[in-house]
Each structure stands twice: as C-alpha cells, then as structure tokens.
Amino acid sequence: MSPRLPPLNGLRLFEAAARQGSFKRSAEELHVTPSAVSHAVQALEEWLGTELFHRGARGLTLTPAGSQFAASVGEALALIAAATERLPGRRATGMLSVSSAPTFATRWLLPRLPRFAEQYPDIQVSIDTSLRHVELPLDGIDLAIRMAREAKPNGTWIRLIAESLVPVCSPSVRARLGDRLLEIFSDVPLIHVTSVSENWAEWFRGAGIDPPDLKRGLRVDTIQMSLEAAAQGLGIALGRKPLIDDALAQGDLVEAGGPVVPGAMSYWLVGAESTFERPEIKLFRSWLLSELDSQGAASSAAAVQRRADR
C-alpha cells in the first residue's frame, strides 16, 4: 500500500512560510501570491486536522505542532533535493540561482556572464544581490558568492580568489600627481567606504607609509560608489582586486601609486554539501575558476607591460 501523504505542494508552501514567518515573504520567495500560500496552508491544516500557525495582528507564529512538523518537513524536502542533485546522468539544464554581493555581481560577474551563456545556453542564471541571509538551498538559492576571512563551518566553502588592495584614481588626477608618492595622499582627498572592515588604515599599515589625517576626505557607503567617485575625479579610492581589474584594463581608473597590499578577505563559492554534485553547478564552478585564472594571468601580463612602459 502506498503511503498516505498530505498535499505535497502544500508541504512546500508551509515549509517556506514556517521558515520565513510570513505568507508574504514566502510567496515572494516561491513566486506565488500570498493568498495561494494562505489557502494551501489552510488546506494542509484541514487535511492534518490540526492548526500549524497562530494567526494574529503581529503576524504568524508556529503552534507547537507546527514547529515540530516544520522541522520534519524541512528535513524531508532537503533529502528530496539532495536525491535530485545526485541523480546519475542528469543533464545540465534549467535554472541556476546565485546570491552575490552587489559590487562583485556588477563589476565582475555580470560582464562575464555572456561567455557562460554562450558556452551553456541551456542553463538560465539568475542573480540575487539582496543582502538578506539565505539558507541554501531551501531559500531557492543554489549558490552564494561571499566575502570572508576564512571558510565557515556550515555548508561547503570553496575559495575563489583573495582580495588585494591598491589605491586608484582617474587618469586626469594621476596625470596631475606626477611622481610625488609621499605627498599625493595628503594633496588629494581620500575616498572612504563606511561599510567595509578593511579600509585606508589597513592599506597604509601594509604599505609601510605614514597615513595622512584619515578623518578627512569623502565618505560613501558602498565600494561601487567609491570607485564611481574616483572615476569622476573626486579623489583616490582604495581599489579592490579583482573588482577593479576591468576598470584598470579599460583605463577608467589607474593605479594612483604605492604597492598592492594583500587583503585579509577572500571571495568564496558557498553551497550546501550536496549542491556541488549538480551538473549545472559543476559547470558554473569550473567556469568561475577558469575566468579567475585567466584574469589573473591577464592582470600579471598587464602589470609587466605597465612597468615596461614607464
């Protein structure tokens, strides 16, 4: 006799609602209406003969039965997802959802995605740049590209590339500076990013240069805005490789002077342990590493050429 199962779509919607604590947020995650989630959960409750949520003015809270059931349903869905990933011979098709820090997505990933699409036209990639915490893979996100000093204990973390720090500015500002390395950082405003852990103090320490008054200069809240401000001639930004490599290659930004200092942060490819068995993800991971390797070789060659031209 086949097992007597509740409505499977209702289980999926209930699990998302339990995890999100909201019909609206779970509906956004699953691309359905809040009404569809509410009706599915109500039908599931009627099938089970028990309440799963308390519905009040302050929102949803799980009942004791709902809390216990949500944990079991989450484990069951994770097992189904893992079994699907391990299915032998499954062809690389369908969607691949990647969560990425906005600046990395804008300045590095998106300009290169056309090459991935050309190589693998059957894989449709979606990029999520929201800063929300995601639980892989249950939040509908397959992979995340994250910045961290070291791998975390949850999931599988694969180091992509270490960050390097170097001052950058517009070509017009650099032409005005000449070779006055020790004076340029006091003559030209520094552009500070208020949302990062590593900024100018770390670079001056690593470069062995006495810093100017770091209280002065322009302050912005994103790396992207600091680089845009530098390109507009508003001062010197602390460039972060690999984010600035394209801008340097295209001449929108140039190195202002001083050494490239290794940063403490690295970019990591993060996923659930079973995620990396999916053919889509194997191809995406291999492509990412290949792009970073080729970019490293190109950057080294460009650096050699710049030194030869001086």
Instruction: Report domain extents, the chain.
Output: 8-85, 163-265
* In contact, 62 and 53? CB cutoff 8 Å: yes
List 254's β-bridge partners, or say none: 169
Tokens matching residue 233:
């001639």
* In contact, 77 and 69? CB cutoff 8 Å: no
Give the pLDDT of residue 97.
87
CA distance 242 to 132: 24
Could you tell me which CATH number the domain at 8-85 has? 1.10.10.10
Give the pLDDT of residue 58.
77
CA angle 218, 222, 228 (to 5 degrees): 65
Q: Which amino acid is at 165?
A: L
Question: Where residue 304 falls among pLDDT bands split at 50, 70, 90?
Answer: very low
* In contact, 171 and 255? CB cutoff 8 Å: no
Integer CA distances (angstroms), 258 to 63, 158, 168, 183, in order: 60, 31, 10, 11
CA distance 165 to 198: 9
Give the pLDDT of residue 299.
44
Assess whether pLDDT exceeds 80 at residue 94.
no
Q: Helices then strands (H, E): number in the chain?
A: 12, 11
Tokens matching residue 285:
């991971």
87: exposed, middle or buried (Cβ count in 10 Å: 0-12, 13-18, 19+): exposed
Question: Where residue 308 falls among pLDDT bands split at 50, 70, 90?
Answer: very low
pLDDT tens per residue across span 109-129: 999 999 999 999 889 898 988
In the Cβ-directed half-sphere of 244, how many Cα atoms lie within 13 Å?
A: 29
What's the mean pLDDT when you consider all of the chain?
A: 84
Question: Where residue 272 falls among pLDDT bands split at 50, 70, 90?
Answer: confident
CA distance 147 to 163: 9
Give backbone dihedrals phi and psi of 264, rounded to 5 degrees, phi first: -85, -15
CATH class of 163-265: alpha beta
Give backbone dihedrals phi and psi of 235, rounded to 5 degrees, phi first: 155, -165
* In contact, 37 and 50? CB cutoff 8 Å: no
Q: For residue 78, give the H/E element and its range.
A: helix 64-85
List 123's β-bridge partners, or say none: 94
Place of tokens 């639980």: 135
Place of tokens 């990412």: 288
Nearest to 240 by CA among 220, 261, 225: 261
pLDDT tens per residue across span 240-261: 999 999 999 999 999 998 899 9
Assess whether pLDDT exceeds 70 at residue 135.
no
CA distance 33 to 70: 21
Assess whether pLDDT exceeds 50 at residue 298.
no
